[in-house]
Amino acid sequence: MTVPSVLPRGRLAVAGALTGAAGLAVSLAAAALLRERLTPPDAVAETVIDATPGKAVSVLVDLFGRWDKPLLVGGVVVVLLLLSALGGVLAGRVQLRGQLVFLAMGAAAAAAILTRPQWSMVSLVPVIAGTLTWLAVLPFLTSAEATGTRPAGGDGDASRRRFLQRAGIVALATVAVGVGSRFLGRQRRIVEDAREQLALPATDGDVPSGAQLDLADLEPWRTPNDDFYRIDTAVVVPAVAAAEWRLRIHGMVENELVLTYQDLLDRGLTEAWVTLCCVSNPVGGELIGNAWWSGVRVADLLAEARPLADADAVLQTSEDGWTCGTPLGALTDDRDALLAVAMNGEPLPLEHGFPVRMVVPGLYGYVSATKWLVDLEVTRFDDFDAFWTGKGWAEEGPVRTQSRIDVPRSNHRVMAGPVRVGGVAWAQHTGVEKVEVRLDGGPWTPVELGRVPSTDTWVQWAGTVEADAGVHTLAVRATDRSGYEQTGVKRDVVPDGATGWHTVEFTAE
Ligand SMILES: Nc1nc2c(c(=O)[nH]1)N[C@H]1C(S)=C(S)[C@@H](COP(=O)(O)O)O[C@H]1N2
Ligand SMILES: [Mo]
């Protein structure tokens, strides 16, 4: 039986994809062995995130939520396998052409790694190992001898057998290396274990009496760590050991400082309730949480460093290279801007910035709340672009006064008559003065507010509206202690936070 001419092409595509997978597995194993935070596909994915315009990022995050990063890395791998298949087909005609496809992929991955912060020559080793694997495996699977493309020797069956043998060897080796690399990547577990052993002088923070109102289905006033929203650009969470962590405070200062974790603890912990909010939180959204933070006051550390008189900003950098710029004033006034080591009485979870992150009451996270913080440079706003401000977000990000309805939820059904309603309102570091609700465009009526320990947290509100049978619209607005009454004008989250009243429709019956 003769081999149809499409079969070699199909074989070549499979051979190329297998070659791609083999090099990928070797590069993953090398990255794990070297304890690199990012594998080559992770580095490509992070580079894509950095290069994506800000508006597109927020649309994609809305669309995919927590799946955005796994989907992106998966997409990178799919593209890699497709290009590899192409490389296999080309190699079947002229080996060099196929090799060029793999060399180009290796070069692209290397370029992505060079755009990552904190790269070293070692960071390139996984890509080099993967590329060398590609160059070795490609002829093994795609040479004329391997595929029987030019049936100089042997009939179709023999050549098919030979190809299947070779493909099988490569597939088995790939799976073995891939599985093996899972056992090599221990950095995160080492850091997790050491974190478990930490005994910090941090307390759990009792929820102040009167803060939690008695209304079923309100979000809890204290957000548990596991439920706290998470926003960051890291494809792989940095795993930084507390013992190895250093913070450098430098730039326009008279006294440069380098601090260890123990240096921080030795200065004594300040603890406070602070509500953290994301600028990308839409009206009525969930990108906000309230926690008890334990940390060292940034103002005290900056006082030791002695900023120069004409500095007006602090450029913060994280282990994964993310940056933000914070007004120096917000870090040196009397508010509790903290270098936090604990969240709700526990060492920071890795996802929330272990070992040290910043929290600044009154500012959105994108200009203040750096996780995995490693560097503070005292500087001037004129002299830098930070991650999000480089993508069209405002340079300064004071939190906008906002309010949200949690009860009833949109489209819920309730009993006609007096209906209990409730939610939260926030105006961090200004304080909420008053919250009002409005049913079906009627008059605004004030509701009850929970008691809060400071102006830096959200406040729960609850009230009762009279609703007869039918569909109703409930709106909420807050007035803060500066006298500002929350505007009903709807504006998008870009450039400095959404505005508008949160409104829900519900049915009474
Ligand atoms: N290293 C790093 N820190 C970061 C970010 C980031 O992308 N990388 N995102 C910031 C943003 S936009 C917000 S809203 C907060 C969110 O903190 P959380 O994930 O602990 O809720 O972290 C801030 N700190
Ligand atoms: Mo954010």
Write down the domain spans for the chain.
9-185, 225-391, 402-508
Question: Whose alpha carbon is nearest atom 19 of ligand 1?
Answer: 230
Q: Measured between alpha carbons, how far is 128 from 407 in angstroms, rounded to an integer? A: 56
The pLDDT > 70 percentage for the chain reads 97
CA of 270 to the centre of ligand 1 (A): 21
What's the pLDDT at 158? 82
Distance 280 CA to ligand 2 centre (A): 6
Which residues make Cβ contacts (< 8 Å) with residue 344, sequence separation at least 6? Answer: 204, 205, 222, 224, 225, 291, 292
Instruction: Please give the residue that has the higher pLDDT: either 40 or 6.
Output: 40
Residue nearest ligand 1's atom 12 by CA = 366
**Fold type of domain 402-508:** Immunoglobulin-like (2.60.40)
Tell me the pLDDT of the chain averaged across its residues. 93
Could you tell me if the CB of 274 is within 6 A of ligand 1?
no
Cα 73 to Cα 116, 119, 215, distances in angstroms: 16, 19, 42
Going by pLDDT thresholds of 50, 70 and 90, the confidence category of residue 1 is: very low
Quick: pLDDT tens for 297-319: 999 999 999 999 999 999 999 99
Q: Please indicate whether residue 233, judged by its CB atom, sits closer than 6 Å to ligand 1.
A: yes
CA of 227 to the centre of ligand 2 (A): 16
What is the DSSP code string of 114-173?
A: HHSTT--HHHHHHHHHHHHHHHHHHHHHHSHHHHTSS-SSS-HHHHHHHHHHHHHHHHHH
Residue 370: CB within 6 Å of ligand 1? yes
Assigned CATH for 225-391 = 3.90.420.10
CB distance 31 to 180 below 8 Å: no
pLDDT band at 3 (very low <50, low <70, confident <90, very high): very low
Structure tokens at 164: 């299947």
H helices of 204-317, where? 261-266, 298-305
**Amino acid, res. 282:** P
CA of 279, closest atom in ligand 1: 14
| Between 167 and 60, the higher pLDDT residue | 167
Pocket flag, ligand 1, residue 320 (CB < 6 Å): yes
pLDDT (tens digit per residue) in 72-129? 999 999 999 999 999 999 998 899 999 999 999 999 999 999 998 778 899 999 999 9
* Mean pLDDT (whole number) for 466-478: 98
What pTM did the predictor assign? 0.87
339, amino acid identity: L
Which residues, 6+ apart, have CB-to-CB distance to 391 below 8 Å? 53, 54, 57
pLDDT at residue number 153:
46
Residue positions counted in the chain: 509
Q: For residue 353, which atom of ligand 1 is closest to its CA?
A: 20
The span from the CA of 435 to the CA of 437, in Å, is 7
Which range has the worst mean pLDDT, 51-60, 66-75, 208-217? 51-60
* Gap from CA of 370 to ligand 1 centroid (Å): 6
What pLDDT does residue 119 have? Answer: 82
- Closest ligand to residue 229's CA: 1
C-alpha 311 – ligand 1 centre gap (Å): 24
Q: Is the CB of 278 under 6 A from ligand 1?
A: yes
Q: How confident is the model at residue 2 (pLDDT cuts 50, 70, 90)?
A: very low
How far is the centre of ligand 2, averaged over its atoms, from the C-alpha of 277 (Å)?
7
Percent residues over pLDDT 90 in the chain: 82
Stretch among 61-65, 260-264, 274-278, 483-487 having the lowest mean pLDDT: 61-65
Query: Tokens at residue 177, please?
Result: 């290396």
Instruction: Return the pLDDT at 5.
Output: 42
Per-residue pLDDT of 491-500, as tens digits, reads 999 999 999 9
Q: Sorting pLDDT into bands at 50, 70 and 90, what band is 269? A: very high
